[in-house]
Amino acid sequence: MEVEIKIRLPDRAAYDKVAAALTQQTGGRTARHAQANYFFDGPERELNSRRVVLRLRTYNGDEKATVTIKGEQVLKDGIGRASEVEEHVDPGAAATYLVAPDAMLSQVPIVKSVAEAYHLSSLVPLGGFRNTRDCFAWEGHTLELDETDFDHGTLYEIEVETSDPETLRDRLEAFLTSLGVAYSYSKTSKFANFVNKTLL
């Protein structure tokens, strides 16, 4: 089960202000990832109808690649919870999966398992979006500043995985308030925004 804080920033100016404050406070980001996210389903939307998401993600071009199976994310008061299993795949194989997604059915164990569970015999690409993620060490956690580019617009968000989300959310809100940065709770997942063409 993945548990994370998801806080929405209103615009690029707020994002830049938070990034500058984190850089000053922590000494700078620990990593930057240019993520390309691609999604797949069965021909009859067998996964989406069960609120299951199949994602292939690449990092910084061909640096790293992962395949993830996620359950429906429940978002409440800035805290998201969802089941998640992830598997690293060879970046070269990932490039192949983009043009021949059915190969994942036999080559990626977690995809093979979900295909057997939901009787998938083939996969179809749904498209995707790009995300730039700046990571900072903050309060003993990895704070992720995301700039997500959809075809229909751009979102700015803070994500932090934690086992104590309520406490850390309150500290994060106090930090943002001290900067004079407006924020709100994310209302839906990035995938849902992609599918529904929303910016919520």
pLDDT at 197: 97
pLDDT at 86: 97
CATH number at residue 139: 2.40.320.10
Q: How many distinct structural domains can be found in the chain?
A: 1
Residues of the chain with pLDDT under 70: none
Place of tokens 């943002």: 176
Percentage helix, strand, coil for the chain under 3-state DSSP, each rounded to 5: 35, 40, 25
Within its chain, how far is the Cα of 41 from the centroid?
17
Question: For residues 108 and 8, what is the distance between their CA atoms, to the nearest angstrom?
Answer: 33
* Residue range(s) defining the domain that contains residue 177: 2-196
Place of tokens 């700015």: 156
Nearest to 131 by CA among 4, 15, 14: 15
pLDDT at 99: 96
pLDDT at 22: 97
pLDDT at 38: 98
pLDDT at 177: 98
**pLDDT tens-digit readout, 133-176:** 999 999 999 999 999 999 999 999 999 999 999 999 999 999 99
pLDDT at 64: 97
pLDDT at 158: 98
Question: For residues 194 and 39, what is the distance between their CA atoms, to the nearest angstrom?
Answer: 10
Question: For residues 131 and 48, what is the distance between their CA atoms, to the nearest angstrom?
Answer: 22
